[in-house]
Structure 1
Amino acid sequence: MSDRVQSPEQPGSTSQRRPTKQERRAAAEAAAAQASATRVRRQRLAGGIAGVVLVGVAFAALIVLPDVFERRAESNAARAASEQSASPEQPAGTPPAEQPGGTPPPSAPAGDAPNPAAPSGDPEAPPDRPTGDFDPRLAERPAVEKGSGALTKLVVTPLIQGTGPAVQRGQTIAVNYVGVSFETGKEFDASWNRGEPFQTQIGVGAVLPGWDQGLVGIKVGSRVRLDIPTELAYGPDPGNNPAGPLRFVVDVLGIKPETGQ
């Protein structure tokens, strides 16, 4: 009886019918909404990964960069120290050996040492190097040979004639010089070895008598040869100083202002 009560399914029933237009539209909207949600999730995931990467890079920079800067600063400091230690220190001016009787050799007085660091415009410092109309040969170290014959008196031989003012007794002058033994030509002292001119007073006993007598009247810009006999050099008992007659080639580079008498 129950089989008869149930009616067989008729063609066109709900299980076999095509979806309507509204159902298709609803399905399309649902699919679009799901795709949009998926896309949003992917964008959020990509943004999160990028943020994590940026945070990692920033953290690494905070750790690494200070160390890089510190190493670079240490490297620069080490290089500067190496360059400074590699630069040869300029020795202090060393004049010819001590004159007998306690009289100092060609050297500046203790309280008036040369000041090579003084600017060229300083009126208190004579020029360190030839300038202006000076003969360019004064920039070159002279070759000094031994003398010949017996030297019994001071001989002053001009080698380059300067055009500046003449040196007067009591003035402080700046000079370059080479000193050798007159008899052998062996060098015993030279301002050129120290890389700076030598300053001293002339005519007041601060240097060898041969300098005091031979440089007065010499014009600035001149180069002269002084052949000095023993009695006007270090005398017959020179001690540790060079013995016998001496030969100097002296370049007169400048006069310290207001030192004339």
Structure 2
Amino acid sequence: MSEQVQNAPGTKRERRLAAQLAAKKAAEAKRRRQAMLGAAAGVIAVVALIGGIVWLADGGDDDKQPAANASASAPADQPADQPADQPTDQPAPGQLPPGTDPALASKPTVTAGKGELSKLTVTPLVKGKGPEVKAGQTITTNYVGVFYKDGKEFDASWNGGQPVSFPIGVGQVIKGWDQGLVGVPVGSRVQLDIPAELAYGNDSSGGRPAGPLRFVVDVLAAQ
């Protein structure tokens, strides 16, 4: 009985100490949890801030990239009046080479011939100042073609709005052109009176002009 009384106060003190220790540990654990939560929140905030900066940087690059690509892929400028496959020394449609007589800027009036035509006749109307046309060259011309006997027009490059180019002296055109234009100076306007045998003959089948013909030809370029 006396032993239990002596031990009672000690037991109460131990309990109080244990309770105080437990409370202290709980408070310390609570502080640690709060500290950890605060640190985690700070990390999340930093990560969010960094992520926002990176997104903005990437967005800025994306905005600039299409413009850069468009500039890189833009084709080089080409002159509007000079097709890529047209020789640079040939006149553009509606233009005359430098030094050409202004008379060649207008379509000529071509009349009928007189009498019988028995041979090829080349009559200079405007003498050019350029080099003479050579067989095998490609020449650029404007022309008007009429029937020799009545002067009725059957063809003209002027109606198409631009000159026509073709090889000369190599059998690509009628004989009257091959024979009559070789040796003509560039920049000239000549009249070609061509008998039927050096033109399309006397047979009008197939829609070709038959009989003797008269052409007025402007030689604009040769190369």
TM range (shorter): 0.5 to 0.7
Residue 251 of structure 1 aligns to a residue whose secondary structure is: strand
In the alignment, residue 253 of structure 1 is paired with which amino acid?
L
Work out whether 1:145 is the aligned partner of 2:111.
yes
Which residue number corresponds to residue 246 of structure 1?
213
Work out whether 1:126 is the aligned partner of 2:90.
yes
Could you report, residue by residue, the CA deviation over 1:79-112 in whole angstroms, capped at 9, with x for unpaired residues?
xxxxxxxxxxxxxxxxxxxxxxxxxxxxxxxxxx
Residue 177 of structure 2 aligns to a residue whose secondary structure is: helix
| 8 Å Cα contact 1:208/1:233 also seen in 2 | yes
Could you report, residue by residue, the CA deviation over 1:167-210 in whole angstroms, capped at 9, with x for unpaired residues?
00010010000000000100000000000000010011111110
User: Number of paired residues?
Assistant: 141
| 8 Å Cα contact 1:222/1:252 also seen in 2 | yes
Give distance in 1, aligned partners of 2:101 and 2:204. Answer: 36
Could you report, residue by residue, the CA deviation over 1:44-65 in whole angstroms, capped at 9, with x for unpaired residues?
xxxxxxxxxxxxxxxxxxxxxx
In the alignment, residue 127 of structure 1 is paired with which amino acid?
P
Give distance in 2, aligned partners of 1:238 and 1:217. Answer: 30
Cα distance, 1:245 vs. partner?
Answer: 0.2
* Structure that is richer in helix per residue: 2
Unpaired runs of 5+ residues, structure 2, are 1-79
Give distance in 1, aligned partners of 2:89 and 2:156. Answer: 21
Work out whether 1:206 is the aligned partner of 2:172.
yes
1:1-261 alignment, distance < 5 Å = 117-118=81-82, 123=87, 126-128=90-92, 129-239=95-205, 240-256=207-223
| 8 Å Cα contact 2:139/2:168 also seen in 1 | yes
Could you report, residue by residue, the CA deviation over 1:144-189 in whole angstroms, capped at 9, with x for unpaired residues?
0000000000000000000001100010010000000000100000
Unpaired runs of 5+ residues, structure 1, are 1-115, 257-261
Which residue number corresponds to residue 35 of structure 2?
none
In the alignment, residue 254 of structure 1 is paired with which amino acid?
A
| 8 Å Cα contact 2:194/2:214 also seen in 1 | yes
Give distance in 2, aligned partners of 1:204 and 1:154. Answer: 18
Cα distance, 1:243 vs. partner?
Answer: 1.1
Cα distance, 1:127 vs. partner?
Answer: 1.6
Across the aligned residues of Structure 1 and Structure 2, the Cα RMSD in angstroms comes to 2.0
Cα distance, 1:244 vs. partner?
Answer: 0.6
| 8 Å Cα contact 2:123/2:192 also seen in 1 | yes
Give distance in 1, aligned partners of 2:88 and 2:97. Answer: 17
Q: TM-score, normalised by structure 1?
A: 0.51
Give distance in 2, aligned partners of 1:237 and 1:119. Answer: 38
In the alignment, residue 154 of structure 1 is paired with which amino acid?
L
Give distance in 2, aligned partners of 1:123 and 1:232. Answer: 30
Cα distance, 1:238 vs. partner?
Answer: 3.6
Aligned-residue sequence identity (percent) comes to 59
Cα distance, 1:119 vs. partner?
Answer: 5.3
In the alignment, residue 219 of structure 2 is paired with which amino acid?
V
Q: TM-score, normalised by structure 2?
A: 0.60
Residue 190 of structure 2 aligns to a residue whose secondary structure is: strand
Give distance in 1, aligned partners of 2:174 and 2:168. Answer: 9
| 8 Å Cα contact 1:147/1:185 also seen in 2 | yes
In the alignment, residue 217 of structure 2 is paired with which amino acid?
V
The list of structure 1 runs, each at least 4 consecutive aligned residues, that deviate by more than 2 angstroms after superposition, is 116-120, 122-125
Give distance in 2, aligned partners of 1:138 and 1:242. Answer: 25
